Structure 1
Amino acid sequence: MNESINELYEWRKQAAMGGGEKRLKAQEDKGKLSVNERLDMLLDPGSFMEIQPFAKGHHSEHLGDGVIVGTGLIHDRPVCVYAQDATVYGGSLGEMHAKKITSLMDFAAKNQMPIIGLKDSGGARIQEGVVSLEGYGQIFKRNVLYSGQIPQISVILGSCAGGAVYSPALTDFVLMTEQTAHMFLTGPKVIEKATGETVCPERLGGAFIQHQTSGNVHYTGKDEKDVLKAVRTLLTYIPTKQKTACHAVEKTKHDPSDPGTILPKDPARTYDVKKMITALTDHVSFFETQPCFSKNIVTGFARLQGSSIGIVANQPKVLAGSLDLDAADKAARFIRFCDAFHIPILTLVDVPGFLPGEKAEHAGIIRHGAKLLYAYAEATVPKVTVILRKAFGGAYVAMNSKGLGADFVYAWPEAEIDVMGKLFADEIVKSVTHKSDVEPTVLKAAQLGLIDDILTPAETRERLIRSFDLLRSKDEDRPLKKHGNMPL
């Protein structure tokens, strides 16, 4: 028996060493943590339970086959997690590597647990050929099957290429380190071989590019510690599965100052809508998603009286808060996540319209804008809108209007709501009827029943709390169908 136990300890030691001390040292020299250090940092102390530590592929020399899978706790809530080990064949995906991940995904779905992937992979394992590609297909299929059923989070901690980036693209949230991570479908070496073009990995798929330009990433952190801490924070705002309440926290103090003071007296002046969000929600509770992508719209999570809500808000500081292609995509994606996991949505509106111009029209603003309309109209979660200053044209409709199904729409006294702003409306009406003096007023909208109430800024937070509380038991039936055909 003692001999068998000693043998077991030796097997465990081999599995824990990954690709060996030399490769672990090389990982450390790059400023990267080992997979075990990453798991320790992500999960509650002592909570990780590994599954299939000794699994090994036919062509592999290493126990575990380059990926650690198992369960653990984050803030005392169970999660499933897998961590790819770049010290074993560069973290590449082989047959057994894929089987371990898909087995964990199935387990997560059956037990209604969020799944987190710590990604550090060069893509498909070339030595195993088409079998590794089949493994990616199996993972992608599960990403789709379990989408909207359990939260799926991807954390990019190294260079990920090929199939290794498509699974993250299918998950709910993607987080990435700024110092050591890259994402690209085709890596620099392959591009150089195929085209002769020399490409810098950072410019091709670094965190800055993937966050600000492509919008593939929701959050970046300066190092792995920062990113893994953000994952733990993010999970406090979302439920572990669909149709369950979000994790509530203790009620915190709130700044009683009047949010109306944030709004400039001159309607032509801009302001930061994030300050408005902070003024209306619980103290230091706002967690923004995609803060560097399409800055003319703000999305993220916050708390009202300790309960989690999703927020979509126009940002007057950027493009005057107008909606463009990326803003529509960003907001629609966020709204659909909130709807899938029953997170109430607060929309703060200050929008002059969709961004006009030939470039926008040719790029498909109609199709992209329709995504936002579709997402709001499809959502059955509690939806409350506050019009802060202006809401014009199709953008008024798109930003969770009464017509799209908002449960409550409120407006501040000086808000303007109409087909377009007074300046343009006067010109058009005058050219057609020789009359002018068009006056978009909030009272007119309220008289037509399009606004449920006109509120002072000071009373808005309390009304939001009461409104969402009333909507807790909301149950909205929809026609039975396989699924709709969202404009993609």
Structure 2
Amino acid sequence: MAISKALADELERRRAIALEGGGAAKAEDRHAKGRMTARERLDELYTKGTFQEFGLHAQHKTRHFGMEKKSIPTDGVIAGSGFIDGRPVAAFSQDFGVAGGSLGEIHAKKICHVLDHAVKAGIPVVGFNDSGGARIQEGVGSLSAYGQVFYRNVQLSGVVPQISVIAGPCAGGAAYSPALTDFLIMTRENAQMFICGPEVIRSVTGQVTTMDEIGSAQAHASVSGNIHFIAEDDAHAVAIVHRLLSFLPSNNMMDPPHKIEADLSVEEDPTLDELVPEDPKMPFDCRVVIRQIADGGDFMEVMESFAANIVIGFGRIGGIVVGFVSNQPTVKAGTLDIDASDKAARFVRFCNVFNIPLVTLVDVPGFLPGVNEERRGIIRHGAKMLFAYASATVPKITVIMRKAYGGAYLAMCSQDMGADRVLAWPTAEIAVMGAEGAVNILYRKELKEAEDRAAKAKELADEYRAEFATPYLSAGELFVHDIIQPRQTRSSLALTLRGLMSKRETRPPKKHGNIPL
């Protein structure tokens, strides 16, 4: 049966209203502020012509509080799926130009539909958060709607990657949905994320603050650790999404997008011999080492500005996607503190659930000492790293570059914590504590009687290193599988990773472990 012109015209009329969203004036206002509209963000995200929208004709349910006759096209959120580099990806984009992007029952149903579709299809989901918050005209129904979104975020966790882009306001309860996802990207100038704004904080506590201090991208990237990447604008945020997805599998049943070639290069790289000083007290930038090891120097660092004493991120070695974890000697001497432990532990767990092998580079003098760290719970937080590494079943390779002392040696994935292969450079020092500390404990009498205490301490420290901290001692007792020259690191890692691709490891049946949160 042919569709009549009247029916076709009515369909096009309704489509035009929905596609217009908040109208041309609001779109122009956003452009003037350097922002994209909700649809433009999805256009930038997807390969042209591949986006299929869900719920274009959705309308709000509110029948009171003066909204009975108000039209809310698409109910303030655009949802659907499309293709990125040939891979299907689901997404939603809140439309601040329509009712402030406020979340009501229909709005939430559209988001939930996208999340349900993502888990059924086994595809990543990207959410653009740009909303004034709950639609208060819908009362408790809007709170229930948030709960339904949160519940699905948790159900999807560890099943498909979830990426959130904070591209506008994200306040109150709305902030918890992105907080439950795997990666958060926030635009520098136009986004805010907070539970209580400056005015609420002032009125309740008397504390005076600013949005920059509590809700800006910089604050969340460097102080609170709530976000993983800062984007300069919407287009940059989408570019970060694209790059991030290039390292991630579509779901937990698939391998990451490796680029394995038939011929594996095993050439040595003499440059690595020069990157790390022999003096254990001389700092160096571990990111230089990572980029030298990674294919083409391509390393995507995650949470660059937070807990900079540990470095995490994605790269490839011999075409195999890996997650790098490395101590950073240029910051706090590479010690592990509370924030570094949290940062590393969550990254390790992400890599594990999505089948990404882990490469750990070690130069750690220990956990950060101090009253503040002890009182804030360094024991509990440090235990997260132990738990994360021990529970991970993906291939785990550890390279001890220099210092590996005490409990931090274990926390950085020693063989005892499940490392499949532990390699050490000749510069490695593996011991229960640093030489200076050990000498002060073991040789108090000799130091006390020495005429030149400093010279004697150095002599004894050198003796301690030679007798108790040499990598050959650990290799002799099979705590280290091999000692290699730095120039051999890349080829050794590539060969080991290739050999571990078929790794299978089963654990005792249980719901899940009880990580010390």
Q: TM-score interval w.r.t. the shorter chain? A: over 0.9
Question: What are the equivalent positions in structure 2 for 1:49-60 lying under 5 Å apart?
Answer: 49-59=52-62
Structure 2 residue aligned with 1:161: 171
Is 1:387 aligned to residue 400 of structure 2?
yes
Is 1:428 aligned to residue 457 of structure 2?
no
Structure 2 residue aligned with 1:442: 471
Q: Letter of the aligned partner of 1:27 in structure 2?
A: R
Structure 2 residue aligned with 1:134: 144
- 3-state SS, counterpart of residue 425 of structure 1: helix
Structure 1 residue aligned with 2:386: 373
Give the TM-score normalised by structure 2. Answer: 0.91
Shift of 1:29: 2.6
Is 1:364 aligned to residue 390 of structure 2?
no
Instruction: Say if 1:257 and 1:279, in contact at 8 Å, map to a contact too.
Output: no
Structure 2 residue aligned with 1:346: 359
Structure 2 residue aligned with 1:94: 104
The 2-side partners of 1:463 and 1:276 are apart by: 15
Question: What are the equivalent positions in structure 2 for 1:452-463 lying under 5 Å apart?
Answer: 452-463=481-492
Shift of 1:185: 0.8
CA separation of 1:198 and 1:429: change in aligned 2, threshold 3 A: closer
**Match among 326, 349, 352 for residue 313 of structure 1:** 326
The 1-side partners of 2:73 and 2:105 are apart by: 14
Q: Letter of the aligned partner of 2:6 in structure 1?
A: E
Unaligned runs of 5+ in 1: none
Q: Letter of the aligned partner of 1:302 in structure 2?
A: G
Structure 2 residue aligned with 1:186: 196
Instruction: Say if 2:161 and 2:182, in contact at 8 Å, map to a contact too.
Output: yes
Instruction: Say if 2:268 and 2:487, in contact at 8 Å, map to a contact too.
Output: no
Is 1:18 aligned to residue 31 of structure 2?
no
**Match among 129, 144, 163 for residue 119 of structure 1:** 129
Structure 2 residue aligned with 1:403: 416
The 2-side partners of 1:388 and 1:74 are apart by: 38
Structure 1 residue aligned with 2:90: 80
- 3-state SS, counterpart of residue 239 of structure 2: helix
- 3-state SS, counterpart of residue 304 of structure 2: coil
The 1-side partners of 2:229 and 2:199 are apart by: 27
Per mean C-alpha deviation after superposition, the further-off stretch among 194-203 and 248-257 is: 248-257
Structure 1 residue aligned with 2:36: 33
Per mean C-alpha deviation after superposition, the further-off stretch among 292-301 and 45-54 is: 45-54
Which string of whole-angstrom CA distances, capped at 9 and with x for unpartnered residues, describes residues 290-340 of structure 1? 000000000000011222100000000000000000000000000000000
Which string of whole-angstrom CA distances, capped at 9 and with x for unpartnered residues, describes residues 202-256 of structure 1? 2221000000000011011111111110100000001000031111247699994
Shift of 1:22: 2.7
CA separation of 1:433 and 1:479: change in aligned 2, threshold 3 A: farther
The 1-side partners of 2:398 and 2:221 are apart by: 28
Give the TM-score normalised by structure 1. Answer: 0.97
Shift of 1:195: 5.5
**Match among 305, 310, 316 for residue 292 of structure 1:** 305
CA separation of 1:61 and 1:195: change in aligned 2, threshold 3 A: farther
> How many residues of Structure 1 are paired with residues of Structure 2 in the alignment?
488
Q: Letter of the aligned partner of 2:175 in structure 1?
A: V
- 3-state SS, counterpart of residue 464 of structure 1: helix
Instruction: Say if 1:122 and 1:162, in contact at 8 Å, map to a contact too.
Output: no
**Match among 259, 262, 266 for residue 275 of structure 2:** 262
**Match among 45, 49, 62 for residue 48 of structure 2:** 45
Q: Letter of the aligned partner of 2:337 in structure 1?
A: D
Structure 2 residue aligned with 1:283: 296
The 2-side partners of 1:346 and 1:316 are apart by: 17
Is 1:103 aligned to residue 113 of structure 2?
yes
Shift of 1:45: 1.5
**Match among 57, 73, 76 for residue 66 of structure 1:** 76
Structure 1 residue aligned with 2:506: 477
CA separation of 1:250 and 1:382: change in aligned 2, threshold 3 A: closer
- 3-state SS, counterpart of residue 481 of structure 1: coil
The 1-side partners of 2:373 and 2:42 are apart by: 44
Q: Letter of the aligned partner of 1:445 in structure 2?
A: S
Structure 1 residue aligned with 2:250: 240
Instruction: Say if 2:280 and 2:403, in contact at 8 Å, map to a contact too.
Output: no
Shift of 1:282: 0.5
- 3-state SS, counterpart of residue 81 of structure 1: strand
CA separation of 1:137 and 1:484: change in aligned 2, threshold 3 A: same
Instruction: Say if 2:320 and 2:497, in contact at 8 Å, map to a contact too.
Output: no
Q: Letter of the aligned partner of 1:160 in structure 2?
A: C
Structure 1 residue aligned with 2:6: 3
The 2-side partners of 1:191 and 1:446 are apart by: 56
Superposed CA RMSD:
1.9
Which string of whole-angstrom CA distances, capped at 9 and with x for unpartnered residues, describes residues 251-277 of structure 1? 699994421211124322101000000
How many percent of aligned residue pairs carry the same amino acid? Answer: 47
- 3-state SS, counterpart of residue 256 of structure 2: coil
The 1-side partners of 2:268 and 2:481 are apart by: 26
Question: What are the equivalent positions in structure 2 for 1:148-227 lying under 5 Å apart?
Answer: 148-191=158-201, 194=204, 199-227=209-237
The 2-side partners of 1:376 and 1:456 are apart by: 26
The 1-side partners of 2:366 and 2:170 are apart by: 38
Q: Letter of the aligned partner of 1:333 in structure 2?
A: R
- 3-state SS, counterpart of residue 65 of structure 1: helix
CA separation of 1:94 and 1:189: change in aligned 2, threshold 3 A: farther
Which string of whole-angstrom CA distances, capped at 9 and with x for unpartnered residues, describes residues 440-483 of structure 1? 11011001110000001111111101101111111101000111
Shift of 1:193: 5.5
The 2-side partners of 1:138 and 1:255 are apart by: 54
Shift of 1:189: 4.5
Which string of whole-angstrom CA distances, capped at 9 and with x for unpartnered residues, describes residues 138-185 of structure 1? 111111111000111100000110122101110000001101111001
Instruction: Say if 1:255 and 1:279, in contact at 8 Å, map to a contact too.
Output: no
The 2-side partners of 1:19 and 1:188 are apart by: 29
The 1-side partners of 2:142 and 2:273 are apart by: 57
The 1-side partners of 2:208 and 2:353 are apart by: 42
Shift of 1:24: 2.2
CA separation of 1:10 and 1:197: change in aligned 2, threshold 3 A: farther
Shift of 1:432: 8.4
The 2-side partners of 1:414 and 1:327 are apart by: 24
